[in-house]
Homo-oligomer: A and B are copies of this chain.
């Protein structure tokens, strides 16, 4: 393995992407546009051929890609679904045991634990680009998928600051803004703004469809039949859109973030239960509805997050504090872009 040059001397670190789905495929394209040396591997021979036909450097398999990464001291990016990660980490541990390593998976505590178990000597910094579409697969990818997106970087105290800089520079090269967060903070936040919305969408779709058998048993007449789904439009359509996501993708996200999601679900149950109590007693829902309205207005404001630059030696605790303040990082403060 090569000695590690200081990060400041390697602004264009090579990138090795394992997995060529929507995110991995977009990352390969974006890194290439940014001028990086980039190669990839995929378990699908069909995908490999499609990517090669589009002019990209696809290795024969993960082993070949990882051997090259070890040789070039590249940044290795895991871009496969969570259930496939453990198997790939075993190969990393074998072929590039000290690799600079990151990932694009939407849960971070589970990833950290998997890395600690299967590839404990890698220099791992978790990542999560908040970008995606309804589509999936190599063909759906785009070099501009990450433009303007928030890319969360795991920023706990023990983080490898050199690899943190590698991942931040990759995110910036792809046009993203970096949001530093502790791994547990990330999972708690994403549970509230992504995993819980998926679960509530599924619950709402189920309630609308109802259960004709249960209604019949309650003796309240013949039940509603098709009436609710026939009438469902605007608010139902929006509120259940992500219930149309492929269930295996939703399950991988939600079940992979058990602790974070449990806390978010408990918060939702508490708020919905309070609303239920108010409706049944005083009949008033103003507390719930006004709080939701105010939060939605605050979200609009939060979309104009302050953008900042930071010194390269900023401590993780200070970085996390920036993330909690809602600030996003555009680059190093001593760098002219």
Contact A234 B132 (CB under 8 A): yes
Residue of B nearest to A285 (CB): B254
Q: How far is the CA of A309 from the CA of B258 in the complex (A)?
A: 52
Among the listed stretches A29-37, A119-127, A268-276, which one makes contact with chain B, having 4 or more residues with CB under 8 Å of it? A268-276
Across the interface, which residues of B come within 8 angstroms of A271, CB to CB? 203, 206-207
Within A224-280, the residues touching B (CB, 8 Å) are: 224-247, 250-251, 254-255, 258, 261-262, 264-269, 271-273, 275-276, 279-280
Asked if A72 is an interface residue, CB under 8 A from chain B, the answer is no
Contact B285 A231 (CB under 8 A): no
Which of B227, B246, B262, B292 is A276 in contact with, Cβ under 8 Å? B262
Which of B238, B264, B283, B297 is A241 in contact with, Cβ under 8 Å? B238
Asked if A318 is an interface residue, CB under 8 A from chain B, the answer is no
CB distance from A264 to the nearest CB of B (A): 6
CB contact under 8 A between A292 and B251, given known A193-B231, A229-B326: no
Across the interface, which residues of B come within 8 angstroms of A275, CB to CB? 199, 202-203, 265
Among the listed stretches A2-10, A49-57, A181-189, which one makes contact with chain B, having 4 or more residues with CB under 8 Å of it? A181-189
Q: How far is the CA of A235 from the CA of B150 in the complex (A)?
A: 15
A residues adjacent to B (C-beta < 8 A):
130, 132, 150, 152, 179, 181, 185-186, 188-190, 192-194, 196-210, 221-247, 250-251, 254-255, 258, 261-262, 264-269, 271-273, 275-276, 279-280, 283-286, 288-299, 302, 305, 323-326, 328
CB distance from A267 to the nearest CB of B (A): 5
Contact A199 B285 (CB under 8 A): yes
- Which interface residue of A239, A246, A271, A284 has the most chain B CB atoms within 10 A? A239
CB distance from A277 to the nearest CB of B (A): 10
Interchain residue pairs with CB less than 8 A apart (26)? A179-B227, A192-B207, A192-B228, A193-B229, A194-B235, A196-B207, A200-B203, A201-B235, A201-B292, A202-B291, A202-B292, A203-B272, A204-B268, A208-B295, A222-B324, A229-B295, A230-B323, A230-B326, A232-B299, A247-B293, A254-B285, A255-B283, A255-B285, A258-B283, A265-B276, A269-B276
CB distance from A40 to the nearest CB of B (A): 26
- Which interface residue of A130, A186, A240, A254 has the most chain B CB atoms within 10 A? A240
